[in-house]
Structure 1
Amino acid sequence: MKLALSHGYTSIIVETDSEVVINVFVDDTYVSHSKDTLISDGKFLIRQFRNFKMVHVLQEGNQCADFLAHCGQSSTWGTTILDELPEGLTPLLDCDALKVSFRRIR
């Protein structure tokens, strides 16, 4: 969200396969504790957007997120900012845009 704001975006749609995340950030069913800085920061960032929407998608419907999550598992701890698309992501972006779903086999 910080990256989107820094690029001047005022509207954003966040897709997640976690209903818990939606409950915490959008439905406000999570009672925040003062030490939950990640949640507090996220809620603050959400309020900075003119239009914000968070929607639930099945993992099979968001191949890009699945791909990037697996990339993240092999990286060092912390935030990784990509300057260019990792090899193999472009075809998945096309499929996500067309709402093509895939069966997960692992």
Structure 2
Amino acid sequence: MPTTCSVLLEQFGFRSFLIALCSILIPWPEMHVFVAGAGEIVGYEWVGSLLPWAYSNSNTDGASKGNPGQAGAGGLIRNHEGRWVAGFCHNIGTTNSLEAEVTAIRDGLELVNRLGLTNVDVETDSKLAVQLIAGSIFSGEHVNSLVNDCRRLMEEIGSTTLRHVYREANACADILANLGVVADGLEVFANAPSCVAHQLYNDAIGVEYSRQMKQHEDVGVRGGVMRQRLEHIATVF
């Protein structure tokens, strides 16, 4: 009779099995998941990736001044400690916020691919963009072309997750997206621009920001995010 370990090895491969095993053995912070009622204030913070020796984290955001209006995309890549790896901002002309969001994800994935990184968590505060790339909904022809670019890049990079986060946990990318609105084309930063340095530091030390919930919904704080990432392991390797 096959053991649980042998079934996991056969289904996911040795690498995924080893990572999942380590995530169980390592004493991660206690997980807390709760339900927030309407009007309740909930705290959020940026959370680094689950597996420090293997993962990087990419946050992206889009901004459109008018929707449609002058638009920008921006994002950054951090290591597990929240330290800057690379970032970008991009003036994408006049468009709507959804196209700006998907463009930012595409640009972020292109930067990840150019740097030769794998095992990357990509985060955006656009739930609609995540649904588009996941294939659960469809949009116009140009946005769908960007979506296909994102899917192709995720396949090329390998071991990549894409998930929605609240804007409070995506503040650095928001700053860079707004910088993109006034940028001259696409700019890539080897070092963090001064405009994002303070927020980058706050994220790294775990400063928490509050959010008022509009309706009942499941909310995962730090540990909950880690559990969510652990669930992703079985699906992306």
Which TM bucket (shorter chain)?
A: 0.7 to 0.9
Larger fraction in strand: 2
Partner residue of 1:95? 202
Q: Deviations along 1:19-65, whole A, 9 cap, x unmatched? A: 0111011x311347775321111110011122111121111122101
1:10 is paired with a residue whose SS is coil
> Which structure has the larger Rg over C-alpha atoms?
2
Distance in 2 (CA, whole Å) between partners of 1:63 and 1:11 is 22
- RMSD over aligned CA atoms reads 2.4
Tell me by how many angstroms 1:69 deviates. Answer: 1.5
Distance in 2 (CA, whole Å) between partners of 1:21 and 1:68 is 18
Aligned partner of 2:152 among 35, 44, 61: 44
Tell me by how many angstroms 1:90 deviates. Answer: 2.0
Distance in 1 (CA, whole Å) between partners of 2:205 and 2:122 is 17
Distance in 2 (CA, whole Å) between partners of 1:3 and 1:23 is 22
- Whether the aligned pair in 2 keeps the contact of 1:60 and 1:102 (CA below 8 Å) is yes
What are the ranges of 5 or more consecutive residues in structure 2 without an aligned counterpart? Answer: 1-108, 212-237
Tell me by how many angstroms 1:83 deviates. Answer: 3.9
Distance in 2 (CA, whole Å) between partners of 1:15 and 1:64 is 12
Tell me by how many angstroms 1:79 deviates. Answer: 2.6
- Whether the aligned pair in 2 keeps the contact of 1:15 and 1:56 (CA below 8 Å) is yes
Q: Cα 1:46–1:74, aligned 2, differ >3 Å: closer, same or farther?
A: same
Aligned residues with identical type, % of pairs: 28
- Whether the aligned pair in 2 keeps the contact of 1:61 and 1:99 (CA below 8 Å) is no
Aligned residue pairs total 102
Partner residue of 2:162? 54
Partner residue of 2:115? 7
Question: How high is the TM-score relative to the length of structure 1?
Answer: 0.77
Tell me by how many angstroms 1:102 deviates. Answer: 3.5
Partner residue of 1:30? 137
Q: Cα 1:101–1:67, aligned 2, differ >3 Å: closer, same or farther?
A: farther
2:161 is paired with a residue whose SS is strand
Aligned partner of 1:16 among 105, 124, 143: 124
Aligned partner of 1:82 among 170, 180, 189: 189
Question: How high is the TM-score relative to the length of structure 2?
Answer: 0.38
Distance in 1 (CA, whole Å) between partners of 2:182 and 2:131 is 28
Q: Cα 1:99–1:21, aligned 2, differ >3 Å: closer, same or farther?
A: farther
Q: Cα 1:75–1:103, aligned 2, differ >3 Å: closer, same or farther?
A: farther
